[in-house]
Structure 1
Amino acid sequence: MGRIGAKLDIDFVVSTGDNFYDNGLNSQHDPSFRQSFTNVYKYRSLQTPWFSVLGNHDYRGDAEAQLSPFLRKIDARWFCLRSFIVNAEPVEIIFVDTTPLVNSYFLNPYRQTYDWRGITPRTNYITNLLKDVESVLRDSRAKWKIVVGHHAIRSIGYHGDTEELKSQLLPILKAYDVDFYINGHDHSLQHISDTNSRIQFLTSGAGSKAWKGSMRKQKREGVRFYYDGEGFLSLQFSKFDTRIAFYDVYGTILHTWSASKPFLQPYNTSTIN
Structure 2
Amino acid sequence: MNSLRATLLLTLAASSISAAAQPGKALLPELIRTVPSPYREELETLHTAIPTEEQQAALQKIAAQPEAGLILALKYIGQQPQAFDFLTKQLSKDTDANHRLLILTQSLRGQVRSLQASSRSLHSPSAVRAELAEQPEKRMQLQTILEHLVATDSNADVALEAARDLRKLNWGVNGQFLLKAADNAHQRQDTAGETALRKEAYDWLPYDEQVNLPTFLRTPPPVFSAVPESKAIRVLAFGDFGNGSPAQKQLAATMLTYSKQHPFDFGITVGDNFYPRGVSSPDDPHWVNDWEKVYGPLGISFYPALGNHDYLQADGPAAEVIYTHKSKTWHMPATFYTYTAGPVQFFVIDTMEMSDTALYQQQLAWLDAEIAKSKARWKVVYGHYQVYSASRGDEQNLIDRLMPVLRNGVNLFLCGHDHNLQELQSDGGVSFFVSGAAGASLYDFTQKNYTRTTFQAKQNGFNVIDADQNSLKVSVIGMDGTILKSVDIH
Q: TM-score range by the shorter chain?
A: 0.7 to 0.9
The partner residue of 2:413 within 181, 200, 206 is 181
| Alignment gaps of 5+ in structure 1 | 104-121, 261-273
TM-superposed CA distance for 1:31, in Å, is 0.9
Code of the residue aligned with 1:160 in structure 2: it is G
Cα deviation digits, residues 55-82 of structure 1 (max 9, x gap) = 00000022211110x4542x31101231
Determine whether 1:30 maps to 2:284: yes
**Per residue, is there more strand in 1 or in 2?**
1
Could you tell me which residue of structure 2 aligns to residue 150 of structure 1?
A: 384
Contact 2:354 2:364 in 1 (8 A): no
Over aligned residue pairs, what C-alpha RMSD do you find?
A: 1.5
How many aligned positions are there? 233
Determine whether 1:65 maps to 2:298: no
Cα deviation digits, residues 96-151 of structure 1 (max 9, x gap) = 01102333xxxxxxxxxxxxxxxxxx53x311111000000111111101001110
Q: Counterparts in 2 of 1:78-157, with a 5 A limit?
A: 78-80=330-332, 81-103=334-356, 122-123=357-358, 125-157=359-391
Could you tell me which residue of structure 2 aligns to residue 207 of structure 1?
A: 438
- In structure 2, how many angstroms separate the alpha carbons of the residues matched to 1:204 and 1:130? 23
Determine whether 1:4 maps to 2:238: no
**Secondary structure in structure 2 of the residue aligned to 1:102:** helix
- In structure 1, how many angstroms separate the alpha carbons of the residues matched to 2:395 and 2:449? 14
Could you tell me which residue of structure 2 aligns to residue 160 of structure 1?
A: 393
TM-score by length of 2: 0.46
- In structure 2, how many angstroms separate the alpha carbons of the residues matched to 1:153 and 1:84? 19
TM-superposed CA distance for 1:215, in Å, is 3.5
Cα deviation digits, residues 141-167 of structure 1 (max 9, x gap) = 11101001110001112x222111010
Code of the residue aligned with 1:141 in structure 2: it is K
Cα deviation digits, residues 168-218 of structure 1 (max 9, x gap) = 0011111x1210000011101111122x42111011110122433333224
Q: Counterparts in 2 of 1:257-268, with a 5 A limit?
A: 257-260=487-490
Contact 2:431 2:489 in 1 (8 A): no
Code of the residue aligned with 1:244 in structure 2: it is V
- In structure 1, how many angstroms separate the alpha carbons of the residues matched to 2:337 and 2:387? 19
The partner residue of 2:422 within 178, 190, 193 is 190
Q: 1:101 to 1:218 in 2, by over 3 A?
A: farther
Code of the residue aligned with 2:268 in structure 1: it is V
| Alignment gaps of 5+ in structure 2 | 1-254
Could you tell me which residue of structure 2 aligns to residue 248 of structure 1?
A: 478
- In structure 2, how many angstroms separate the alpha carbons of the residues matched to 1:16 and 1:256? 19
- In structure 2, how many angstroms separate the alpha carbons of the residues matched to 1:258 and 1:101? 29
**Secondary structure in structure 2 of the residue aligned to 1:41:** helix
Contact 1:185 1:205 in 2 (8 A): yes
TM-superposed CA distance for 1:26, in Å, is 1.1
Could you tell me which residue of structure 2 aligns to residue 216 of structure 1?
A: 447
Code of the residue aligned with 2:421 in structure 1: it is L
- In structure 1, how many angstroms separate the alpha carbons of the residues matched to 2:457 and 2:257? 21
Contact 1:156 1:218 in 2 (8 A): no
Structure with greater contact order relative to length (CA < 8 Å, sep ≥ 6):
1
Determine whether 1:47 maps to 2:299: yes
Could you tell me which residue of structure 2 aligns to residue 19 of structure 1?
A: 273
Contact 1:245 1:253 in 2 (8 A): yes
**Secondary structure in structure 1 of the residue aligned to 2:380:** strand
TM-score by length of 1: 0.81
- In structure 2, how many angstroms separate the alpha carbons of the residues matched to 1:85 and 1:101? 16
**Per residue, is there more helix in 1 or in 2?**
2
